[in-house]
């Protein structure tokens, strides 16, 4: 039957609703989705399965075969200090960048939204880093934070001798010796990388929050005022924040997935150092699997990465659905 050929994978049992199996419309439908299905299978789904399989092997490119090593790659990841440092660096990065960039994005959106004029100018400026190639901006930041010729330490040094030295021990110490090396100092490197991540990403969150704010009905503020919610904080707590719930869930998911993927800053500036303090997951995959050809461990990191993303997205779905039930 011609029908079986055209719809081969999908036709294990007859369609329950449509008796007439192959109309012109359904033929067109299959033709139109076919390229997308093939690409999804080859480019997205197969690689996940490949990564899962290879994570149990010691495969490397160029070798004819490979050995099954069981869960050895995973055991390494949770026991060897390199990988615990990797998990720590990724965790710090995500746990710092996500809340701070969302907090700043929300703060900027609220301030801009409440302004009488010039709001658009700030919106434009804050969004610029989102458009700029992160690699280029990372290099500029590296230069700005350069310990000897960088503008940041020069500005800091110019404040020496003033009141700042008296109010801050950190500042006084910087003046007495030197201000930090930023990327070269193991106490500062990961935080500096986080700072660039926040700088780059918060404008995106701001725009999403600004969009969310336009959908908060004004009557709710009137109603809240009637009920005695007078202060700006009350209005925020009782009306704005709950109404922004779905936006926040979305922003958190996107921001977290993006944070797990940080690579440009680390590869271009710190190479994971000093002493692996900035050894984030994406860089670890790149270094281990692609530079050193240790595919098995790279695949294991990939799988852990995907599990994190999956958990996050499921948590998001759950939160959104729970919200819908309550409201």
Partner 1 sequence: MIGQSSPFSEALKHAVLILGALIVILPFYVMVSYSLKSPREIETNTGGFFGAQEQMVDEYCVKLGNAREDCVETPVIYNYTQAFKKAPLLRYLLNGVIVTASIFFIQVLVALPCAYALSKLKFWGRDVVFGMVLFCLLIPVHAIALPLYIMLAKAGMTNTYAALVVPWTISVFGIFLMRQFFKTVPDDLIDAARMDGMNEFSIVWKVMLPTAIPALLAFAIFSVVAHWNDYFWPRVVITGNRDLYTPPLGLREFKGDGDGSYWGPMMATATIIVTPLIVAFLMAQKRFIEGITLTGMK
Binding positions for partner 1, 257-316, rule CB under 8 A: 257, 260-261, 263-264, 267-268, 282, 285-286, 289-290, 295, 298-299, 302, 305-306, 309-310, 313
Q: Which one of 149, 167, 176, 324 is in contact with partner 1 (CB under 8 A)?
A: 149
Token couple for 21: 């199996």
Nearest distance, CB of residue 163 and partner 1, angstroms: 18
At residue 68, the 3 state secondary structure works out as strand
Residue 76: CB atoms within 10 A of its CB come to: 15
Which CB sits closer to partner 1, 100 or 169? 100
DSSP string for 116-137: SS-HHHHHHHHHHHHHS-HHHH
CA atoms of 247 and 145, how far apart (whole Å): 34
Report which of 124, 277, 108, 265 is spatially closest to residue 196, judged by C-alpha positions.
265
Q: Which two tokens stand for residue 110?
A: 């609220």
- 91 near partner 1 (CB under 8 A): no
* Least Å from the CB of residue 162 to partner 1: 18
The piece of 84-92, 95-103, 137-145, 169-177 that touches partner 1 (CB under 8 A) is: 137-145
Under rule CB under 8 A, residue 8 binds partner 1: no
| Placement of tokens 């009141």 in the chain | 163
Q: Which residue has the tokens 């700005």?
A: 144
Q: Does residue number 66 form part of the binding site for partner 1 (CB under 8 A)? A: no
Among residues 36 and 167, whose Cβ is nearest to partner 1? 36
Q: Does 58 bind partner 1 (CB under 8 A)?
A: no
Nearer to partner 1, 222 or 323 (CB): 222
Of 40 and 91, the one with the shorter C-beta distance to partner 1 is 40
Distance CA 313, CA 7 (A): 32
The footprint of partner 1 on residues 190-249 (CB under 8 A) is 199, 203-204, 207-208, 210-211, 218, 221-222, 225, 230, 232, 235, 247
Residues between 27 and 56 with contacts to partner 1, criterion CB under 8 A:
28-33, 35-37, 39-40, 43-48, 50-51, 54
188 binds partner 1 (CB under 8 A): no
Output 133 or 169, the one with its CB closest to partner 1.
Answer: 133
Angle at 31 between CA 28 and CA 34, to 5 degrees: 145
Q: CA separation (Å) from 220 to 43, 243, 326?
A: 47, 10, 18
| 109: contact with partner 1 by CB under 8 A | no
User: Shortest CA distance to 164 belongs to which of 152, 153, 176, 156?
Assistant: 156
* 68: β partners: 57
- Contacting residue, 63, 71, 84, 124, with partner 1 by CB under 8 A: 124
Rounded Cα distance between 212 and 208, Å, is 6
The stretch near partner 1 (CB under 8 A) out of 74-82, 88-96, 116-124, 170-178 is 116-124
Greatest distance between any 2 Cα atoms in the chain: 90
Q: How far is the CB of 225 from partner 1 (least distance, A)?
A: 6
Choices 25-33, 76-84, 91-99, 171-179; region in contact with partner 1 by CB under 8 A: 25-33
Does position 82 interact with partner 1 (CB under 8 A)? The reply is no
CB 197 within 8 A of CB 101: yes
CB nearer partner 1, residue 48 or residue 173: 48
| Among the listed residues 242, 253, 205, the one whose alpha carbon sits nearest the alpha carbon of residue 105 | 205
Examine residue 88 and tell whether it contacts partner 1 (CB under 8 A).
no
């Amino acid at each position: 039957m011609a029908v079986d050929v055209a719809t081969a994978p999908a036709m294990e049992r007859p369609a329950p609703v449509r008796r007439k199996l192959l109309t012109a419309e359904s033929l067109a439908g299959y033709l139109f989705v076919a390229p997308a299905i093939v690409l999804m299978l080859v480019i997205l789904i197969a690689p996940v399965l490949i990564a899962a399989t290879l994570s149990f092997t010691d495969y490397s490119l160029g070798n004819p075969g490979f050995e099954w090593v069981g869960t050895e790659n995973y055991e390494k990841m949770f026991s060897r200090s390199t990988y615990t440092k990797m998990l720590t660096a990724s965790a710090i990065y995500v746990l710092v960048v996500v809340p701070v960039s969302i907090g700043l994005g929300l703060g900027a959106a609220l301030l801009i939204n409440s302004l009488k004029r010039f709001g658009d100018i700030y919106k434009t400026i804050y969004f610029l880093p989102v458009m700029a190639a992160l690699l280029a901006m990372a290099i500029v930041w590296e230069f700005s934070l350069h310990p000897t010729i960088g503008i940041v330490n020069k500005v800091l040094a110019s404040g020496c001798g003033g009141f700042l030295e008296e109010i801050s021990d950190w500042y006084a110490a910087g003046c007495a010796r030197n201000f930090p090396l930023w990327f070269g100092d193991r106490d500062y490197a990961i935080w500096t990388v986080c700072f660039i991540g926040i700088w780059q990403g918060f404008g995106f969150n701001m725009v999403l929050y600004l969009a969310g704010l336009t959908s908060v009905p004004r009557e709710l503020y009137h109603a809240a005022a009637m009920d005695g919610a007078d202060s700006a904080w009350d209005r925020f707590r009782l009306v704005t924040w709950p109404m922004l719930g779905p936006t926040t869930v979305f922003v958190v998911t996107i921001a977290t997935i993006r944070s797990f993927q940080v690579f440009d800053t680390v590869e271009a500036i710190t190479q994971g150092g000093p002493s692996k303090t900035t050894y984030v997951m994406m860089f670890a995959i790149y270094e281990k699997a692609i530079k050193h050809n240790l595919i098995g461990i790279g695949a294991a990191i990939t799988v852990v990465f995907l599990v994190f993303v999956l958990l996050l997205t499921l948590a998001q779905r759950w939160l959104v659905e729970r919200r819908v039930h309550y409201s």
